[in-house]
Structure 1
């Protein structure tokens, strides 16, 4: 016996809730709510997820990305755990709440300049970069630029501008993994080269300097940006210096940063698949420009634990040039370059640490 339905199936379908056009939005809303609840009501992880999603689907740039007049405009960071490897990555894994507060510079905002005025020489192309020679392998990432030395499987310098908003964002390093840099012609070291070596995978451009973008923080985990560091050095005095530079960046509305190892023939090596030179020393060169004010400071540290003040490692920049063979800021006017690079430790400490 055949029964004719008392209602029209087609009509029911037309009147029913159509998921096809709303499923994605509903899933996104439920996911954001779940993410919010998972993190105990914290909004920062939700905002971080939305910022990355917005970049993927092209909903427009953030306010900070639209600031075209920024004199240091050019790229952006926390840290992951290498799981089964004995040698951990830099700064000992997790970043504490205390270190994140120090990244924001405490109460230094009262002394920071209200605006930054560029010198004419800053407007030159690649003003930030050291002098390079034909045949040098210069690798340009969105967040930083480096020169890679294949014979050492290390970069001998990494350069980038550091702005205050770049270090106070929501990007997290805990899920990032070390990976080879495919931009390097002959390949970089591998993360496994550090396994049970006794050395940390030390960042040259720190992940903590690029917290405003997860994508750009991810670049800091390229092995071209990684170098062997003694664990107590990496998680101690080197980390302290990185945090001090972040405080200065907040105070001064931005800095130019160059950092790297001192590479030379005959260094000891580690590595299962590659021979990675283990540097004996590391340096940082920092430049502040806000016309008419300009100042420079250099640091040279041994790759070993230290309980000394970071002030003890301040050296004239021309001393760093001598041990590295690198010409920093060659596009500065010659007289000004000589004046800045030859300043004594006491003068630099007074200029940088007095306020």
Structure 2
């Protein structure tokens, strides 16, 4: 007759190495299930809390308003537009390019030309037209070198929520735009060229502002500091002046450093904004040129003649202005320009 002790040894008993292997397989399963997230155990615990009705656990983090949610995959969104947003398109609002009474300003005849506000471009350029803005995409740099749009006072007020949107590849860029993941852990913000705050009247246009064709690598303290300050000033002026034409972009050139996992996205050293105000017979133009770095200087110190921006970018701004008027506006010095724009 076998002793009880020998009988027990024949039964199933987990040894130490078996427990270790089970724990390792459990962790591997968590990583696979949660898509390789760096904190799968936290994600698993949050799911358990949701199942039992306790809600997700959260960690206290400083909110960064310039970091919108990233898509789970680097593909362009093909989700249909909600019917409730189908009518918030600029096409259903008074259009300044067609109706001068929309702003109360009196238009010049040259403003009525097709694509008046666009810089000069060639037929083979990648011109991308969205509802809120138009841009020229430069595949060699994986970003736009200019973004142009009219900015009216009613467009910067509204309840469009940027927190609802995600950075997405631009579906209209035939060669493929940069991807959100190209910026991940690069040390640079996904900086808007045409800011989301300029389209608050429309959720559709706010969504389009998160296309990666409208994004450029910006130093965090630049994007959240002096660049944001300039964007807010432009909106303030748009309200004051009942509308402006805005052209903005990076200074792109060969030899720039790059970031990116799948695409080589150039990191610009400088950014510019060019603004034009028209209310016949009044007209004025101003240009800003800023380095991609933090600054506590006054925005006045970044005002430069527009023809200086043209020289370093190779871009011809507002080519449909009469030549003599274009030369006069673009050659004005800082003192004359700041007096006209900052005096009231």
Structure 1 residue matching 2:246: 3-state secondary structure: strand
Does the 8 Å contact 1:181/1:188 carry over to 2? yes
Structure 2 residue matching 1:249: 3-state secondary structure: helix
Structural mapping, 1:99-248, within 5 Å: 115-248=104-237
Cα distance in 1 for partners of 2:84, 2:169 equals: 27
| Residues 1:265 and 2:292 aligned together | no
Deviation at 1:351, TM superposition (A): 0.2
Per-residue CA distance 1:191-232 (angstroms, 9 max, x = gap): 011111000000000000000000111000000000000000
Does the 8 Å contact 1:127/1:329 carry over to 2? yes
Mark the runs of 5 or more structure 1 residues left unpaired by the alignment.
1-51, 75-112
Per-residue CA distance 1:303-335 (angstroms, 9 max, x = gap): 000000010000000000000000000000000
Q: TM-score, normalised by structure 1?
A: 0.71
Larger Rg: 2
Cα distance in 2 for partners of 1:133, 1:306 equals: 36
Cα distance in 1 for partners of 2:263, 2:89 equals: 41
Does the 8 Å contact 1:72/1:254 carry over to 2? no
Cα distance in 1 for partners of 2:170, 2:136 equals: 13
Aligned with residue 333 of structure 1, among 292, 316, 322: 322
Deviation at 1:65, TM superposition (A): 3.4
Deviation at 1:63, TM superposition (A): 11
Q: TM-score, normalised by structure 2?
A: 0.73
Does the 8 Å contact 1:180/1:224 carry over to 2? yes
Corresponding residue number in structure 2 for 1:344: 333
RCO comparison, higher one (Cα < 8 Å, 6+): 1
Aligned with residue 67 of structure 1, among 94, 107, 116: 94
Cα distance in 1 for partners of 2:203, 2:88 equals: 15
Does the 8 Å contact 2:89/2:204 carry over to 1? no
Mark the runs of 5 or more structure 2 residues left unpaired by the alignment.
1-81
Deviation at 1:72, TM superposition (A): 7.3
| Residues 1:285 and 2:312 aligned together | no
Cα distance in 1 for partners of 2:281, 2:92 equals: 27
Deviation at 1:133, TM superposition (A): 1.4
Q: How many residues align?
A: 263
Does the 8 Å contact 1:166/1:210 carry over to 2? yes
Aligned with residue 317 of structure 1, among 306, 318, 343: 306
